Amino acid sequence: MKITRLTLDGLESGLVTDEHPTIAFALASDVPGEALASARVHVDEWEVDTDRQVGIVYGGPLAPYTEYSVRVDATGTSGETASAATTFRTGRLDLPWTGRWITDAASETPKKQSPVPMVFRRRFSLEKPVARAWIEATALGVYELDLNGGKVGDDYFAPGFTSYAHQLQYQTYEVTDQLGDTNELIATVAGGWAVGSFTFARKNKIYADRQGLLAELHIEFADGTQRVVATDGDWEVATDGPVRMAEWYDGETVDARVTTAQMSWKPASETRPRANPRILAQYGPPVRVQDTFTPVEVTTAPSGETVYDFGQNFAGVVHARLRGRDGQTVVFRHAEVLVEGELFVKSLRTAKATATYTCVEGDQTYSPKQTYMGFRYVGVTGIDPADLELTALVLHSDLRRTGSFTSSNERLNKLQSAIEWGGRSNFVDIPTDCPQRDEREGWTGDYAAFATTASFNFDMTRFLDKWLRDMASEQGRGGGIPMVVPRSGNGFPVMATAMWGDVCILAPWAEYRARGDLGMLRRSYPMMTKFLGAADWWSKLLSIGDRRHIWQFPFHFGDWTSPDGSAKEWIQKGRWVGTAFFAHSCGIVAEIADLLGEPADAARYRALQSDIVRAYRAVFTDGAGTLKNEFQTAYVLPLHFGMTEGAETERMVENLVHLIAESDGHLRTGFPGTPYILFALSDNGRVDEAFDLLLQTSPPSWLYMVDAGGTTIWERWDALRPDGTVNTIDLQTGKDTGGMVSFNHYAAGAVGDWLYTRIAGIEPTSGGYRTFRVAPLLGGGLTSAEAVVETPYGHASSSWTLADDVFTLRVEVPVSTSCTVVMPDGSERTSDSGVFTYTCELGALSGHVAHT
């Protein structure tokens, strides 16, 4: 037996924290049926005995700037033992900052624009050997540090996007090896989310009037003495540095000819944030380079622009190696699609998505540092292609991939890839809606749809913990959840809204099922109950009888992005969607209350769920399973949320199938129904119809996107029409204005949940796959499928093949878990840890099991 993974707050190494970390470990063993019997966890002098492998919270003391040693000694039920060790460091904890916030007090930025980046500088000398040195820094804006000509750290867009009025992250960077006898520390601070232009309305100065920097360089000398170089009046500032413009939507402009010696330096001014945010050691994953792409094709557009195709839509920046002349300007434009050989940028709306670089003489490199773009294609002008070597850097939050799905259908494999890349592209510090146009906001409805699929594909815990902290901070006094988190200038008022608000329940619940740690549920529980209280209050407003449980007011997005109708018509379906989600969320919170030891709450929410279900039937149906106002989502939600029974269920399924047939075999669901429509069919006996819908290839359908060349999921099913034109019709006005058409919008990728849990058949039945089920569905002409999931306990997998009427299933069960297998012939088996092979002859419906 061995410990294969030991983590602190989800990290195997490098944790710096101001809070008590959570410890988890995974085991592997060659002994069939092995499980953890007991473990002793040591953190310096503190220790605890436990039979758990996840959610072990360190309960000992914490002191500032201290390294703690962590050791786990585990004993299995077989008697075998295993050990592993790691360390973590504390940050400042509650120590006051020596440094002061500094800025350029004379800097002014016109409305709807982003400020010119500020450059801060501090020079200093060291006269004795250094044992250790580290920098702690944060900013109002996004910053990058340079020490003696070298970048500090690997992060992009620090300190990250948070609800700056409530909390702000600081980063810790080890810089011992970068120091010399004489030193120059430079910080470039762009407007970012705090000061820069943001939202399609181009609001700016949302959190601060101008950029600010707060930093401390801590130096421990070999002789035991210490020194702190902190931001104060001794620092200099300039606004005429090489980065002339940097913002999320328009891009970046850099003049490489500008040196520090040429800049107009002056003493920095002291400032302070508008609010009094809590400043904490970084608790979310940083944005970093995750991959590098080379062009798959280089063409010349009719306009003469050189077009580089990277073969994949993604979020990131270009990286150029070029031979330039002094003063030569090279322009890089970005787009998701080509139309008639030219970059199509109308769908970017006001975003310019352009990087402009002015060269020095000779060989040089350039890559944007304080912005990013969503793109597949880059158009370049101002340089001979022979003088340019262009690659692209993939940027997103540092998320560990935890799931994979493959099958015998290559189209489905491409769909899975598009789903993953849709997530990667939109997990840039917050879950954005899209990475390319003048938006990139934390829309809650998008993640509510995608939450379960996201938690299959990636370990979302640190990412979600950060975002949910902002969500709780910005929850309305009445319980409403912002449509966008952080709100950051978004114009929608904070109110209780179905699905968008339900994210406060759906997101932590999905991650608990994947990871098994009650901590996120416990932290989010007050937010959940407050939200349901708001939904209940609005449902009762101006209502009597069963209508007191119909959630109509104050506003719902309804069947948002349905292929049918306009935005106004989607919104008009809000009460069907709102009522179904209200019932569903009550049921989930009842389960959470049980897990958290709140039985009275659990009973109350189950009773409320029952009342809502009864109201849905009474108000919206004829009592026998037919809706008075029929549309696909209105059937999908009660079917998948368990709101029907008996003959009523059968009739609802028949009616849903009929609506799909009326649409020539296509779905007509928006954000609320799309994640669940295949479940509503397959889990109610309509497996063939579910596969038919999944494998549909004409629009609207998932595989239409794939066949049309989509490498990510689109916002609208018909974003690219069959004739090759882009659908830029505005959904509010009906005019061709650039509209709502993103080719990298992950919500419809929620179908990934069905690929994992129904085709491969692997699904947790308790938190973190402590128990799970493997029950593959056959259909669609598939002859094989496999899903591999890295659970907190180790790798779980389901891999099956179908050949000559013989079904063969291989299942991997991690140590300390158990799995119930349901074969296509209906036979069931339960196994503890190990690797097992099961077969059955489908014609004879006979089966046997072999352990490998």
Catalytic residue, candidates 34, 144, 247, 715:
715
* 571 CB burial (10 A radius; 0-12, 13-18, 19+): middle
**Which residue, 400, 462, 451, is CA-closest to 22?**
462
Which alpha helices (H) appear in 621-645, and where do they start and end? 632-640
What contacts 167, CB < 8 A, 6 or more positions away? 277, 278, 279, 280, 469, 470, 473
How far, in Å, are 18, 230, 280, 326, 499 from residue 92 at the CA level? Answer: 7, 14, 8, 46, 38
C-alpha 454/C-alpha 427 separation (Å) is 10
Q: Helix, strand, coil % (nearest 5) of the chain? A: 25, 35, 40
C-alpha 371/C-alpha 241 separation (Å) is 16
Radius of gyration of the chain (CA): 28
**Which residue, 476, 480, 614, is CA-closest to 555?**
480
> Tell me, what DSSP letter sits at residue 642?
T
- Are 436 and 353 spatial neighbours (Cβ–Cβ below 8 Å)? yes
Angle 290-742-308 from CA coordinates, rounded to 5°: 55
**439 catalytic per annotation:** yes
Q: Which residues of 821-847 are buried (b: 16+ CB within 10 A; e: fewer)?
A: bebbeeeeeebbbbebebbbebeeeeb
- Are 155 and 138 spatial neighbours (Cβ–Cβ below 8 Å)? no
Specify the 3-state DSSP secondary structure of 429: coil
- Are 429 and 157 spatial neighbours (Cβ–Cβ below 8 Å)? yes
**Which residue, 169, 173, 206, 205, is CA-closest to 187?**
173
How far, in Å, are 266, 833, 844 from residue 815 at the CA level? Answer: 62, 5, 34
Angle 372-376-378 from CA coordinates, rounded to 5°: 75
Catalytic residue, candidates 136, 144, 336, 439:
439
Specify the 3-state DSSP secondary structure of 471: helix
Any idea of the CA torsion for 731, 733, 736, 738, to the nearest 10 degrees?
-60
Q: Which residues are catalytic?
A: 439, 715
